[in-house]
Structure 1
Amino acid sequence: MKRIIFFVSLILILAACGSSEESSGSQGSSQDLTITTGAQGGSWYPIGGALAELMNENIDGMTFSSVPGGGTSNPKSVATGKADIGFSYNSTLVSAQEGTDPYNKKLDGLKAVAKVYDMAWHVITPESSGITSFEDIAENQIRVNWAPNKKGTGDEWITTKVIEEYGFNYDDIESWGGKMNFVSISDGLSLWRDGHVNLYSAHTLPPQSSFIEATMSVDSNFLSISDKVLQSLNEKYGLVEATIPAGTYEGQNEDVKTVTMPMTIFAHEDVSEDVIYHFTKLLDEETEYLTTVHQVFKNFDIETAWKDTGIDLHPGAQKYYEEIGVME
C-alpha cells in the first residue's frame, strides 16, 4: 500500500511539473504576456513599457511585460512563442508571412492590431566628411564608419536594401577600409558625437531626439535617395517614399527624400480575442497619455489604424474597430 501511494504521488507530481512547463511558454500561459519592442534609445522601447503598464492596470489576473527587440526580429519572436505582441512594419510583416527576405521560411500565426504611424529613414554625415550622396560613396569607394542600428532591426534592413540599389554592400565597405557598427541608436549617437562614425542612420519619426542632438552637436548633411532608387525600392520591397521637410533639424535647409515603412503593432493569433480587444481599446482611449510618453502618438488615428497593416487583423482588434464604427 505504501508503494502504491508513493507511485501515485510521484505520478501526480510529474503531471503537475509537466503542466507547469507547458504554461511557462509565452503564448501558452494565460497569466504572462510579453510585448517585444525596439532597441533602447529608440521610440518603441518606452511606448512598449507604457502599454505594458496600462494593460497591467486594466486587465486583472494577467501580467504584461515589455522587452527590447527589433523590427525584423520581432515577427520571429512572436511566431515562435518568445513573445505575444510585437512592434514591426507593414512591409516586414508581409515578408514574414510570405517567407521572403529577410526570412528564410514563412512565419505563421501573425495578425495585425494597429498601424500607428509612418516613419522616415534618416542618414546623416558630418559636413567635414565630404560625402555628398550614396553615389559618391559607391563611385569613390569612400571609407565610411557607419552606425545603422543593431542587426535585426528594420533600420538595418533598410540600410542593406538601399546600398544594394547603389551597387555596394557591407563587404565592400570593409574592403574600402570602413566598418559597420551594429549598435543601438543611443550608442550610435555616442559614436557620432565622439567622431568615431561618419554615417549615422535610423528609421524613425521626425523630428527624433537623437538626430536633434546629433545635428546640434556636429554640423551635418542629410543624404537623400534618388528617384530611380526610390522607385526600385517600392517595386521590390514595398518601401514608400517619404520626405523629411526642410528645417526639421539644425542646418537642414532642404527637403530630404527618403523611404518609410508604417510602424505596425501585431500579435500572435493565439492571444485571446478579449486581450487584443482591450489592448486596441487602450490604444484609442489612452492616445493622449501615450503622446506624453512619446510624440509619435500625435500621428495615431484610430479611424485609419486598421488600414495598410500588411497582414490580416487579429479578431480582437477587428471587433473593436467594428464596434466603434470606423471599419465596415
Structure 2
Amino acid sequence: MFSRNQKLLTIGLVVLLIAGLLVGCGGNEQSSQDPAQGDQEKKAESILGDIYLVGATQGGGGVWDMVGTGLANVIQQNIPGSRITFVPGEGLANVKTIHKGEGDLGFMHSTMAFAASQGKEPFDAVYDNVRALFSVYDPSMQFVVLKSFPIDSLAELAEKKPAIRLAVGDPGSITELASRALLEEYGITYKDIESWGGSVQYKSMGEAADMMGDRLIDAISITGTAPMGALQEVATSQDLKMLSIDKEVVDRIVERYGFSPAVVPKDAYPFLEADVPTFSFRVIIGTPADTPEDDIYQIVKAVGENLDYMHNVHSNLQNLSLEYMAEGTGISLHPGAEKYYREMGVID
C-alpha cells in the first residue's frame, strides 16, 4: 500500500515527465503554470476517496479502535465514494503525524494538541498545522487508593510522605504526564516518592488494576471515562477510595496545561461517598489545517446527522451532541467544521 506522500511523489514525477515532453515539442514556449499555484492545487485535493485515519485499528478492542470503526462506518455509508484506511498510531505522536500531513484524520488529546501548538512539553517544537473536527469524549483523572492506606488526600500524601507504591501509566502517555503534573502541583516528584521508600511504576491500566487487585501496589493514578471497568473489577476484591483534587490545584492545572475542571459522580463507583472534584481532557479528531473545507464539512455533517448510531458505538459516546462536539478541542476548529456548526446554530 502506498502512502499519500508516495502517491503524490509518483503523480509529481509523471507530471514532470509530461511537462518535459510538452516543452520539448513546443520549442522555447514556457508553461503558464505558476509553481505556487500548483502547490495550492495539491493542497486542495480532496481526501474523501482515500482517508487515512491515524490512531485506530479496524476491528481492534481498544476504545479508539471501536470509535474509529464506528466513525469509518458513518463516513463511508453517508459520503459516496469515501474510503477509510486505518493507520495505527501512538497517542502523542499522532499530533506530529497529522501536523506533517502524513494522515488525514487522527485521534489525539486536546491537551496535547494544545501543547503541540505552543511548543510546550512534551513537544520539542511547535506543531501548529492541526485543526479540530470535533470532541469525542472526556477522560478524567482518577487517583484511587486502597482504603487501608493511611492517607485521605493528596495534601496528606505530601505531608506524611508514606512509602506509597504508585502506578502512573506508560512512560510518556497522557496518563503518566497528567499524573506527574498532578503530583508536582502538590510539591511531589517521582524521586520524592522513591526517597520515602515507595515506588513509581509505569504500568498500563490493565496491569495496574491486576496489581492493585493483588495488593502489589497501593494506588493508581489513571485517566479514563468513569466508570472504568478496570476499577470496577478491582473494587470487587478490594476496598477502595478515590482522592479528590483541591480546587486551587485544579485551577492551576487548567491554566498551565489546558485541562478542564471535572467531577467524578458519586454513582460512578460503589465505593464513592460523594462527587469527587478532578480535571479532565478531551479526546478529539484532528486534521491538517489545509484539508479542503468541503471535505471536513461533509465528514462532520455525516457524524452530526448520525449521533444515534454513534451513541451505540461505545459507552463513552452516550452523551455525544453537536454542542459537545464543537467545544473543548484545545485547538481551533477547522473551517469546514465551523461552517457546519454555524449552520446548526451551535456556534456564532
Q: Normalising TM by the smaller chain, what interval?
A: 0.7 to 0.9
Alignment partner of 1:86 out of 78, 92, 106: 106
Aligned residues: 308
Alignment partner of 1:49 out of 69, 91, 98: 69
Q: Which residue of 1 aligns with 2:277?
A: 257
Check if 1:139 corresponds to 2:159: yes
- Cα-Cα RMSD: 3.1
User: Residue 183 of structure 1: CA displacement?
Assistant: 3.1
- SS in structure 2 at match of 1:312: coil
- SS in structure 2 at match of 1:104: coil
Alignment partner of 1:283 out of 290, 303, 306: 303
1: CA distance, partners of 2:337 / 2:192 = 45
Q: Which residue of 2 aligns with 1:36?
A: 55
Q: Cα distance 1:85–1:173, how it changes in 2: closer, same or farther (>3 A)?
A: farther
After superposition, give the CA deviation of every residue in 1:33-71 in whole Å (9 maximum; x if it has no partner).
022259x8764342123223433444525332153532x
Q: Cα distance 1:88–1:135, how it changes in 2: closer, same or farther (>3 A)?
A: same
- SS in structure 1 at match of 2:325: coil
Q: Which residue of 2 aligns with 1:19?
A: 10
Alignment partner of 1:152 out of 172, 186, 199: 172
- SS in structure 1 at match of 2:333: coil
Check if 1:224 corresponds to 2:250: no
Is the contact between residue 121 and residue 203 of structure 1 (CA under 8 Å) also seen in structure 2? yes
Q: Which residue of 2 aligns with 1:124?
A: 144
Letter aligned with residue 31 of structure 1: D
Residues 1-328 of structure 1: pairs in structure 2 closer than 5 A: 19=10, 31-36=50-55, 43-59=63-79, 60=81, 62-70=83-91, 72-328=92-348
After superposition, give the CA deviation of every residue in 1:231-270 in whole Å (9 maximum; x if it has no partner).
3223322333221122320221122111122332221224
TM-score by length of 1: 0.81
Q: Cα distance 1:19–1:228, how it changes in 2: closer, same or farther (>3 A)?
A: same
Is the contact between residue 78 and residue 84 of structure 1 (CA under 8 Å) also seen in structure 2? yes
- Whose radius of gyration is greater, 1 or 2? 2
Letter aligned with residue 65 of structure 1: F
User: Residue 92 of structure 1: CA displacement?
Assistant: 2.7
Q: Which residue of 1 aligns with 2:18?
A: none
Q: Which runs of 5+ in 2 are unaligned?
A: 1-5, 14-42
Q: Which runs of 5+ in 1 are unaligned?
A: 1-14
2: CA distance, partners of 1:148 / 1:155 = 7
After superposition, give the CA deviation of every residue in 1:138-184 in whole Å (9 maximum; x if it has no partner).
23332233222223332222111110011122222233343333333
1: CA distance, partners of 2:7 / 2:109 = 40
Q: Which residue of 1 aligns with 2:38?
A: none
After superposition, give the CA deviation of every residue in 1:169-205 in whole Å (9 maximum; x if it has no partner).
2222233343333333223222222333221232222
Q: Cα distance 1:203–1:56, how it changes in 2: closer, same or farther (>3 A)?
A: same
Is the contact between residue 41 and residue 185 of structure 1 (CA under 8 Å) also seen in structure 2? no
TM-score by length of 2: 0.77
Letter aligned with residue 137 of structure 1: L
